[in-house]
Structure 1
Amino acid sequence: MTATVAYQQEQFDKARQEFMQLARLGNVDALYNLGVMNLHGQGQDKDYAKAFAWFSIAADFGLSEAGSAASLVYQHLPQQSEPVGLKQQLDHEFGFLNYQENLQPIFTSDASLDEALAPQRSHFLEPVYPEEAYKKGLEGWVWVEFDIDPSGAVNDLEIIDGYPPREFERAIYNAVSRWRYQPLVKDGQPQPYHSRSLLYHFSTHKGRRYRESFSRQSNAYQQRISELIERAEQGDAVVQYYISNWLMTEQSNAAMLLRRHFQQDNAPGEVLLDAAKNGYALAQYRLGSSLLRGQLAESDRHKGLNWVLQAAQSGLAVAQYRLAREILDSKDVQQDFSKAARWLGQAAEQGHFRAIRDLAELNLQQGLLNDVEPLLLRGLALDDQHPQLLFIQARLLSRQGQAKAARIQAEKALQHAESREWYRQDIQNWLSSSVLQ
């Protein structure tokens, strides 16, 4: 945790700023440390009233030593009404009730995706375990997101994270890109589905090779696992995030050893929450995404968006994209195209492909034609045969009065959509409409 490092190095201004950010997430250690800094005047004048307020808030989160510290400080205060009032002021932003209402997930052992809203897979291809990794008994996981078009085809698969890096990503890409889903239909019309999330584990748990690999590596595994558990308990957010991902399967060597320590049913979610509260953006996004879909915890759109927002504000491109899509797709809040465009723009600046694609579409719909072309150039540089980008380009050319060029691009978009077996009814309808007649 960078706040702790700054504190240990006596960079108190930086430490205080970072502890404040973590305190907003419900991080009880940060709340306690703010009390300590005010008590001892570290980087500021001593302020016993603030020390009492911070200790009291930490105590509300269940930290017993914070309650004891608050009692001791309170006894030495000359005016005891002031710290109580200050505590009430801080409660609005940092208090337990605020955290409970806006961020705290409700973990359940049977939380699952809302089947009424989720697309159902109709064709599945098992990812092929890389041969060398399997021979070595090497295990890992890949976290991917993708869109599902109105025909049920997987579009624009994105690797969010994986362990070991680049070991299993090609296997996942080759398999998932060929999956198919039952189309989602609303009011008689097929609908797209954005940001389907999947954490896929590769484990050598079956048969003789599993027993051999586990036997060979058990001592090294155990030593490494013990080190990771210690780092997680010390608040290492990255390690907590990785442990959470391992705990989401019961079939890997690492998961079995970790389960000896993390035995509670909701351990994957609880450890992920710790990583999120310790400020790790990937953990915040994964937690927020899970809350939006009702995975790991009870579905809660308000809390889910708050966690996605935290990750987006940290600069995580996929979170910025997801936030924009939730704004554009939402039916229960007012659509704010300018806010969505800002988040898409931030993600696009980082080269996030789906953000580039959707911002180009949004600008075209809003009539911001001068802003479409640069996005198309960036997107087509990444995939010069992408059907949706080519279709956007065709409509842009039509708006610019270049009907012949527009038809050529639309026909090219249709050709590539057919070759990828993607949805193409919208392109066909546009080609047969009066626009190009």
Structure 2
Amino acid sequence: MTATIAYQQQHFEQARQEFLQLARLGNVDALYNLGVMNLHGQGQDKDHARAFAWFSIAADFGLSEAASAASLVYQQVDDKDPLSALKQSLEQDFGYQHYQRTLQPHFVSSVSQEEDLAPQRSHFLEPVYPPEAYKKGLEGWVWLEFDIDPSGAVKDLEIIDAYPPQEFERAIYNAVSRWRYQPLLKGQEVQTYHSRSLLYHFSTHKGRRYRESFSRQSNAYQQRISELIERAEQGDALVQYYISNWLMTEQSNAAMLLRRHYQQENAQGEVLLGAAKNGYALAQYRLGSSLLRGQLAQSDRQKGLNWVLQAAQSGLAVAQYRLAREILDSSDIQQDKEKAANWLSQAAKQGHFRAIRDLAELHLQQQNWQAVTALVAQGLQQDDDHPQLLFIQARLLAGQNEFQAARKKASQAIDEAQSRGWYQQDIQAWLVQQSKNQLSD
């Protein structure tokens, strides 16, 4: 935790600012440390009344040491009248009830780790375990997101995180890109399902090879796992995040050993929450995404958005993209295209492909031709024949009265969509309409 490091190095102003950010997430250690800093005048004048308020709020979160500290400080304060008012003031942004209302997930054992609201998968291809990894007994996981187009095809697959890096990504990419889902048709409207999230584990748990590899590695595993558990309990957010991901399967060597310590039913969610409260953006995004889709915990849209916002404000591109899409897609959120465009722009500047794609579409609707041209060029550097980008190019050319070039580009988009097995009826319908317009002219 960088706040703790700053505090230990006596960079008190930096520590105070970072503790304040963590305190807003319900981080009880940060609340307690703010009390300590006010009590001892670290980086500021001593303020016993404010120290009492911070300790009292931390005590409301269940920290017994904070309750004892608050009691001792209370005895040292001569004028006790302002204490309650100061605590109530801080509670508006940092109090336990505020945390419960805005951020605290409700973990329940009956909630599936899969997305109940996702379209039903109609074709599944099992990822091929990389032979060398399997031979070594190497295990890991990949967290990915993708969109599902109206025909049920998987498109624009994005690897968000993986462990170990560069080991299993290709295997999961090759498999998931061939999955199919039930078509997304609602009456006469077609829909795209954005940001389907999947955490896939590769584990060598089956058969004799598993037993042999686990037997060889058991002692080394156990020592390493013990070290990781200790780091997690000391508040190491990265380790908490990794442990949570391992706990989401019961079939890996690491998960089996971790379960000896984390025996509570909802351990994976609680550990993930710890990482999020300790400021780790990937954990905040995973928690927020889970709340939005009803994974790990009961679905809670506002709390999910609050966690995604925390990750987006930390600069995580995939969270910035997700926030923009929620604004654009959701009927229960006031559509604010300017705000959505701002989040898409921040993600696009980091090279996030889906943000580039959707921001180009948004600017096309607003006839910002120059912005569309630049974004399409940026996107085509990552995927030089992407059907949707080619279709955007076609409509851009039509908007600039270059109709022949527009029809040619749209035909190219159809061909490429067909080769990928993606939905193309929208492009075909646009071409038909363009032909009608030309005849009427």
Q: Is the 8 A contact 1:328 1:337 kept in 2?
A: yes
Q: Is the 8 A contact 1:407 1:436 kept in 2?
A: no
Give the superposition deviation at 1:436: 5.1
Give the superposition deviation at 1:366: 1.7
Q: Is the 8 A contact 2:116 2:293 kept in 1?
A: no
Q: What is the distance in 2 between the residues matched to 1:140 and 1:436?
A: 56
Give the structure 2 partner of residue 217 of structure 1: 217
Distance 1:234 1:436, change over 3 A: farther
Amino acid corresponding to residue 14 of structure 1 in structure 2:
Q
Give the structure 2 partner of residue 316 of structure 1: 316
Give the structure 2 partner of residue 246 of structure 1: 246
Q: Is the 8 A contact 1:140 1:203 kept in 2?
A: yes
Does residue 367 (structure 1) correspond to residue 355 (structure 2)? The answer is no
Give 3-state SS (helix, strand or coil) of 2:381's partner. helix
Give the structure 1 partner of residue 265 of structure 2: 265
Does residue 29 (structure 1) correspond to residue 47 (structure 2)? The answer is no
Cα deviations by residue, 1:6-30 (Å, 9 ceiling, x for unpaired): 1111111110000000000000000
Give the structure 1 partner of residue 139 of structure 2: 139
Give the superposition deviation at 1:160: 0.2
Give the structure 1 partner of residue 74 of structure 2: 74
Q: What is the distance in 1 between the residues matched to 2:273 and 2:117?
A: 25
Cα deviations by residue, 1:58-104 (Å, 9 ceiling, x for unpaired): 00001011011101101111111112111000000000000000000
Give the superposition deviation at 1:118: 2.0
Amino acid corresponding to residue 151 of structure 2 in structure 1:
S
Give the structure 1 partner of residue 290 of structure 2: 290
Q: Where do 5+ consecutive residues of structure 1 fail to align?
A: none
Amino acid corresponding to residue 359 of structure 2 in structure 1:
L
Q: Is the 8 A contact 2:115 2:293 kept in 1?
A: no
Q: What is the distance in 1 between the residues matched to 2:40 and 2:437?
A: 73
TM-score (structure 2 length as normaliser)? 0.98
Give the structure 1 partner of residue 184 of structure 2: 184
**Structure 2 matches for 1:269-284, cutoff 5 A?**
269-284=269-284
Give the structure 1 partner of residue 123 of structure 2: 123
Give 3-state SS (helix, strand or coil) of 1:178's partner. coil
Q: Is the 8 A contact 1:184 1:192 kept in 2?
A: yes
Amino acid corresponding to residue 309 of structure 1 in structure 2:
L
Amino acid corresponding to residue 111 of structure 1 in structure 2:
V
Q: What is the distance in 2 between the residues matched to 1:52 and 1:251?
A: 47
Q: Is the 8 A contact 2:113 2:296 kept in 1?
A: no
Q: What is the distance in 2 between the residues matched to 1:436 and 1:171?
A: 47
Distance 1:228 1:113, change over 3 A: closer
Deviating more after overlay: 153-162 vs 109-118: 109-118
Give the structure 1 partner of residue 158 of structure 2: 158
Give the structure 2 partner of residue 197 of structure 1: 197
After the TM superposition, which segments of 4 or more aligned residues of structure 1 sit over 6 Å from their partners?
A: 113-116
Give the structure 2 partner of residue 424 of structure 1: 424
Cα deviations by residue, 1:391-432 (Å, 9 ceiling, x for unpaired): 000000000000011011000000000000000000000111
Cα deviations by residue, 1:280-320 (Å, 9 ceiling, x for unpaired): 00000000000000000000000000000000000000000
Give the superposition deviation at 1:390: 0.1
Give 3-state SS (helix, strand or coil) of 1:263's partner. coil
Amino acid corresponding to residue 268 of structure 1 in structure 2:
Q
**Structure 2 matches for 1:36-75, cutoff 5 A?**
36-75=36-75
Cα deviations by residue, 1:306-361 (Å, 9 ceiling, x for unpaired): 00000000000000000000000001121000000000000000000000000000
Q: Is the 8 A contact 1:140 1:168 kept in 2?
A: yes
Distance 1:435 1:107, change over 3 A: farther
Q: What is the distance in 1 between the residues matched to 2:12 and 2:115?
A: 49
Give 3-state SS (helix, strand or coil) of 2:13's partner. helix
**Structure 2 matches for 1:332-343, cutoff 5 A?**
332-343=332-343
Amino acid corresponding to residue 72 of structure 2 in structure 1:
L
**Structure 2 matches for 1:336-355, cutoff 5 A?**
336-355=336-355
Q: What is the distance in 1 between the residues matched to 2:92 and 2:267?
A: 29
Q: Is the 8 A contact 1:247 1:259 kept in 2?
A: yes
Distance 1:115 1:353, change over 3 A: closer
Q: Is the 8 A contact 1:140 1:202 kept in 2?
A: yes
Cα deviations by residue, 1:151-171 (Å, 9 ceiling, x for unpaired): 000000000000000100000
Across the two proteins, how many residue pairs are aligned to each other? 437
Deviating more after overlay: 6-15 vs 133-142: 6-15
Give the superposition deviation at 1:117: 3.4
Q: What is the distance in 1 between the residues matched to 2:79 and 2:387?
A: 70
Q: What is the distance in 2 between the residues matched to 1:355 and 1:125?
A: 28
Q: Is the 8 A contact 1:269 1:296 kept in 2?
A: yes
Q: Is the 8 A contact 1:241 1:272 kept in 2?
A: yes
Give the superposition deviation at 1:133: 0.1
Amino acid corresponding to residue 63 of structure 1 in structure 2:
L
Q: What is the distance in 2 between the residues matched to 1:3 and 1:150?
A: 46
Q: What is the distance in 2 between the residues matched to 1:184 and 1:402?
A: 33
Give 3-state SS (helix, strand or coil) of 1:382's partner. coil
Give 3-state SS (helix, strand or coil) of 2:327's partner. helix
Give 3-state SS (helix, strand or coil) of 2:144's partner. strand
Aligned-residue CA RMSD (Å) = 1.0
